Amino acid sequence: MKISDVFKEMSLEVKTFKDGVQREVTGGYVSDLLSDVLAHAQEGNIWITLQTHQNIVAIASTKGLAGIIIVGGREPQQETLEKAESEKITILTSPLSAFEIAGKIYQLLQ
């Protein structure tokens, strides 16, 4: 499944790197601990977090993640958006909780 399929099904807002919505999503990873994501997320996962600072982009880029979904109605900081564009990382946002987003992605990937 592509990121474009995920955001269409779940009404997510694409904030950065719109060309990245064609990336394949192999699974999801939910965590707000950067070290946890760095240690355990798999390449191609879409990362679900409430973090909004620019360090999330560095982690996503390092791990080869498909993209980042920021939940709970939070908005990424301007520096985060700029870094995501330069690193070609897709950031999406949702008013839903991490629990709700994870459940929906799980269902979509089945």
Q: Where are the domains of the chain?
A: 3-109
Which pLDDT value is given to residue 94? 95
Closest listed residue to residue 91, CA positions, set 62, 36, 63, 50: 50
| Under 8 Å between Cβ of 15 and 89 | no
Which residues contact residue 6 at a Cβ distance below 8 angstroms, ignoring those fewer than 6 apart? 12, 25, 46, 92, 105, 108
Cβ-based burial of 58 (10 A; exposed 0-12, middle 13-18, buried ≥19): middle
CATH of domain 3-109: 3.40.1390.20
Which pLDDT value is given to residue 2? 86
* pLDDT beyond 80 at 21: no
Closest listed residue to residue 51, CA positions, set 28, 78, 33, 27: 33
Q: What are the tens digits of pLDDT across the range 43-101? A: 999 999 999 999 999 999 999 999 999 999 999 999 999 999 999 999 999 999 999 99
Predicted TM-score of the model (pTM): 0.93
14: β partners: 92
